[in-house]
């Protein structure tokens, strides 16, 4: 007969087992000894979310994901191995391994997915929080600032309350959501919804790299193009934007409510709220909403109105650029001002109830008043429009646009006011006195212009006669220029094209002089290089650039359209490069994000082909002598073009190198034999190219590079990583989502081959082009030049002339920007 004491002990043991079983089936933490296998799950402490293995739809593939626990509709909000499905889960586990890394290991103990955690803690655990956030942290430490890793930083297709959609500028990390490939494949799809901080923050929807929809800028209350997103009883929302971060986030007013923002496989962002078992998920917000949300639907200065049959129109005082195409529903070319601007007497016209234009090329100041904003815009001829930055409290702050306005939509009752620059005559078009005055001024202007043309024509004829006389005396030099047959532009044309060389048209300034943007009468955009009287480069350099570049034709060399030589004015006219110089994008933390790996590799190859043409395939064998990031220009499609041939030299016959007493170039790009001994050759250009390659891959400058573990420059750092087989660490963090592993490593290897100390060891540009485009075995590089001599040229001045103590060679260093 069993005693009562025994029965009591049995009940205690049974209760203990039940409690232990219940806890093990509902745990929210795993570590190195407690792991998750198929059939087991993690459940957050309040039971809101669950993590485990699942198969979407009818798929037989297995994934590790997080889903809502308390609702009947199976809804996945995060997937770990979305692009690495498991076909066999036998022996597969999710566990915390060494160094606090959460890893999914298959039956062969190979890592299928990991958290890629940085940092080490004593007792690491992974925990599923009540928010749905999976975190890796020190056990019993709930400080979110100390998390080693969290799934909220790496969303898949859903944005949950508390998540941040945007950028951390300190770490260069971006969090954004991307659609599943299909309902049965959670892999990374084509559509992405992200926050674009360029100019001023706005949400954008892209299909790969093509922009499909734009929310409009944040105005303190919401996005100007999403009137349906407004204050509500379910959640609060805001955009946080400062020097360290830019992100959108939302928080639930009632924690018992379930709400999420997701993007579907068709590229539509959707806001969902769970009602109950009967009604399920209810969608109450989508973006885009209609055809007027299509990015650039009506072109520049066009407005889209979904309430009319012909949805595209022009802003008042604007007309369609191509009326025939417009009537055929082709609005891509947009609209133009009915009356051109003259800058000095322009004004602003108010347009109301609109979605504000694209803010990629905008500027803002949070402390200005609207009137101060107007004054700033009026003084800058490139400023096309302005408005309040924040519409709260009657409107505060200043937001300016500096390009053509695009993607404007009519939003009745919910849009904003925009003040657009127009000609003064358009502000009071009915004033008879104004019309009369304009007619009189136009007539006087025409008479003055005719007289000016006759005067310039006479001056030009006299100048040409003088040049011919000089030609008979100088013979060789004049004949050399006559062979060029380079088109000439008169001074009046260039003056009009650049708005009298106004400051707002200035693109930059180098050793040659200022460079201006301009537009000819036929609409062709140009860049005008104007020789400064105080230029470090003189008439010889001007002639040098004309002689060389006029004879060179290659898609990766900037195209010289002509020159202007009248009186003391000497100018070179080039094709305009819409994206400016490479250095302005590459070394800028925000702009550098535009350059994914395919674009960077395209730029590297383009520079290589252009340099190969100069060294081998052109009529002359040209040594550039100042190849650097600021002398690489980028067109609209990011095609690189080598520019600035003012210091270039040519070789004749079988010449391969030369010596000079006047070294010209930029510290950080000059080869050792050129900088120290004045010896230049094609191999000195190869060295400069190698520096460029390493800068493009890393996004960092060679000169001024600093590292906490050593005192070498960028070349030295790349060399150390290569020797330790850690070359991938050199790659810029922005390339993580786009890089091709073999291309990145190969580019670094080729770059190191080009910057070797001895010129004889460096490859020719023909070999470089072949190495970049093939997959063969590469020779091992030797130590780079200036590896152990970083401080030889440590002076910070980028424009100077100094003598070397070793051989009295003159160093003329050009502006390196």
- DSSP class per residue in 294-323: STTTT-BTEEE-TTSSS-EEE-TTEEESSH
Burial 154-184 (b: 16+ CB within 10 A, else e): ebbbbbbbebbbbbebeebbbbbbbbbeeee
Are 496 and 525 in a shared domain? yes
Domain assignment present for residue 7? The answer is no
Q: Tokens at residue 149, please?
A: 């890793």
Q: Tokens at residue 349, please?
A: 């016209």
Q: Which of 12-16, 404-408, 455-459, 524-528 has the highest mean pLDDT?
A: 404-408
Give the count of domains, the chain.
Answer: 6
Structural domain that includes position 93? 16-154
| Mean pLDDT, the chain, whole residue set | 83
Which residues are bridge partners to 319 per DSSP? 336
pTM for this structure? 0.54
Domain boundary residue, one of 124, 154, 184: 154
CA pair distance 682, 361, nearest whole angstrom = 40
Which residue among 626, 637, 685, 737 is the active-site one? 626
Half-sphere exposure of 759 (CA within 13 A, CB side): 18
Are 498 and 467 in a shared domain? no
Are 591 and 660 in a shared domain? yes
Are 457 and 415 in a shared domain? no
CA pair distance 547, 544, nearest whole angstrom = 5
CA pair distance 708, 725, nearest whole angstrom = 19
Which range (170-179, 225-234, 415-424, 750-759) has the least confidence? Answer: 225-234
Proportion of the chain above pLDDT 70, given as a percent: 83
Q: Over range 376-402, report the average pLDDT.
A: 93
Question: What's the confidence (pLDDT) of residue 570?
Answer: 86
Which range (24-28, 275-279, 558-562, 708-712) has the least confidence? Answer: 24-28
CA pair distance 630, 641, nearest whole angstrom = 11
**Considering only CA atoms, which of 104, 294, 123, 285 is closest in space to residue 211?**
294
Q: Over range 774-792, report the average pLDDT.
A: 75
Domain boundary residue, one of 139, 154, 169: 154
Are 609 and 688 in a shared domain? yes
- SS3 label, residue 470: helix
CA pair distance 382, 366, nearest whole angstrom = 21
Looking up tokens 């290991």, which residue turns up?
A: 105
Residue 482 has pLDDT above 80, yes or no: no
330 is catalytic: no
Query: Of all helices (H) and strands (E), which one includes residue 290?
Result: none
Residue 440 has pLDDT above 60, yes or no: no
Domain assignment present for residue 1? The answer is no
Residue 463 has pLDDT above 70, yes or no: no
CA pair distance 156, 81, nearest whole angstrom = 10
Are 385 and 451 in a shared domain? no
**Considering only CA atoms, which of 228, 339, 325 is closest in space to residue 286?**
228
Are 692 and 737 in a shared domain? yes
- Cβ atoms of 294 and 212 closer than 8 Å: yes
Question: What's the confidence (pLDDT) of residue 393?
Answer: 86
| 430 or 38, higher pLDDT | 38
Domain boundary residue, one of 426, 461, 493: 426
Q: Which of 542-556, 661-675, 730-744, 762-776 has the highest mean pLDDT?
A: 762-776
Are 285 and 319 in a shared domain? no
């Amino acid at each position: 007969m069993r005693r009562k004491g025994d029965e009591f002990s049995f009940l205690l043991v049974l209760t203990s087992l039940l409690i232990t079983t219940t806890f093990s089936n509902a745990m929210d933490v795993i570590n190195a000894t407690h792991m998750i296998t198929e059939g087991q799950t993690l459940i957050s402490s309040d039971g809101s979310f669950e993590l485990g293995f699942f198969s979407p739809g009818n798929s037989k593939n297995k994934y590790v994901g997080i889903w809502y626990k308390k609702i009947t509709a199976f809804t996945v909000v995060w997937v770990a191995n979305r692009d690495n499905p498991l076909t066999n889960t036998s022996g597969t586990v999710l566990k915390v391994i060494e160094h606090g890394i959460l890893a999914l290991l298959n039956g062969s103990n190979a890592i299928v997915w990991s958290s890629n955690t940085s940092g080490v803690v004593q007792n690491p655990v992974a925990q599923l929080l009540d928010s749905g956030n999976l975190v890796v942290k020190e056990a019993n430490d709930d400080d979110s600032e100390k998390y080693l890793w969290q799934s909220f930083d790496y969303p898949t297709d859903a944005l949950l309350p508390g998540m941040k959609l945007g950028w951390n500028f300190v770490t260069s990390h971006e969090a954004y959501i991307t659609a599943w490939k299909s309902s049965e494949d959670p892999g990374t799809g084509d559509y992405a919804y992200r926050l674009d901080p360029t100019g001023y923050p706005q949400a954008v929807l892209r299909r790969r790299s093509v922009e499909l929809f734009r929310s409009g800028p944040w105005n303190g209350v919401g996005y100007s193009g999403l009137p349906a997103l407004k204050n509500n009883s379910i959640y609060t929302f805001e955009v946080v934007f400062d020097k360290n971060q830019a992100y959108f986030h939302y928080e639930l007013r009632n924690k018992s409510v379930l709400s999420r923002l997701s993007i579907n496989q068709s590229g539509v962002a959707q806001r969902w709220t769970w009602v109950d078992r009967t009604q399920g998920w209810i969608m109450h917000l989508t973006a885009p909403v209609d055809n007027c949300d299509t990015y650039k639907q009506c072109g520049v200065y066009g407005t889209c109105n979904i309430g009319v049959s012909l949805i595209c129109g022009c802003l008042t005082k604007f007309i369609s650029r191509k009326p025939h195409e417009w009537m055929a529903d082709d609005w891509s070319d947009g609209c133009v001002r009915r009356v051109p601007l003259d800058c000095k007497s322009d004004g602003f016209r108010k347009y109301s109830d609109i979605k504000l234009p694209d803010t990629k090329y905008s500027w803002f100041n949070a402390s200005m008043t609207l009137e101060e904003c107007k004054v700033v815009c009026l003084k800058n001829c490139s400023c096309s429009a302005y408005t309040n930055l924040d519409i709260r409290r009657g409107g505060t702050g200043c937001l300016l646009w500096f390009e053509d306005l695009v993607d404007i939509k009519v939003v009745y009752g919910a849009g904003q006011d925009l003040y657009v620059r127009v000609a003064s005559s358009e502000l009071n078009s009915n004033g008879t006195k104004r019309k009369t005055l304009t007619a009189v001024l136009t007539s006087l202007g025409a008479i003055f212009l005719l007289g000016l043309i006759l005067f310039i024509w006479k001056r030009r004829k006299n100048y040409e006669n003088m040049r011919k006389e000089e030609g008979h005396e100088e013979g060789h030099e004049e004949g050399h220029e006559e062979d060029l047959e380079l088109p000439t532009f008169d001074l009046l044309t260039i003056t009009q094209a650049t708005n009298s060389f106004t400051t707002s048209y200035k693109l930059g300034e180098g050793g040659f002089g200022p460079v201006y943007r301009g537009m000819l009468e036929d609409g062709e955009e140009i860049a005008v290089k104007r020789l400064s009287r105080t230029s470090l480069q003189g008439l010889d350099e001007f002639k040098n650039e004309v002689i060389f570049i006029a004879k060179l034709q290659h898609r990766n060399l900037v195209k010289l359209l002509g020159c202007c030589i009248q009186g003391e004015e000497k100018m070179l006219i080039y094709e305009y490069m819409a994206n400016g110089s490479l250095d302005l994008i590459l070394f800028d933390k925000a702009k550098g994000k535009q350059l994914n790996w395919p674009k960077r590799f395209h730029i590297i190859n383009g520079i290589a082909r252009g340099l190969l043409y100069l060294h081998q395939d052109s009529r002359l064998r040209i040594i550039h002598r100042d190849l650097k990031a600021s002398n690489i220009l980028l067109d609209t499609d990011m095609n690189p073009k080598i520019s600035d041939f003012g210091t270039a030299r040519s070789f004749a016959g079988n010449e391969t190198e030369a010596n000079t007493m006047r070294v010209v170039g930029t510290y950080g790009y000059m080869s050792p034999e050129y900088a120290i001994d004045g010896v230049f050759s094609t191999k000195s250009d190869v060295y400069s190219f190698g520096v460029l390659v390493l800068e493009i891959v890393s996004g960092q400058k060679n000169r001024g590079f600093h590292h906490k573990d050593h005192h070498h420059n960028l070349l030295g750092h790349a060399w150390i990583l290569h020797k330790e087989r850690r070359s991938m660490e050199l790659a810029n963090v922005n390339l993580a989502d786009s890089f091709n592993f073999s291309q990145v490593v190969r580019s670094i290897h080729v770059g190191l081959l080009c910057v070797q100390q001895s010129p004889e060891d460096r490859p020719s540009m023909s070999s470089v082009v072949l190495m970049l485009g093939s997959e063969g075995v590469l020779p091992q590089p030797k130590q780079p030049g200036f590896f152990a001599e970083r401080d030889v040229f440590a002076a910070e001045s980028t424009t100077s002339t100094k003598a070397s103590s070793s051989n009295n060679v003159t160093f003329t260093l050009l502006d390196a920007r």
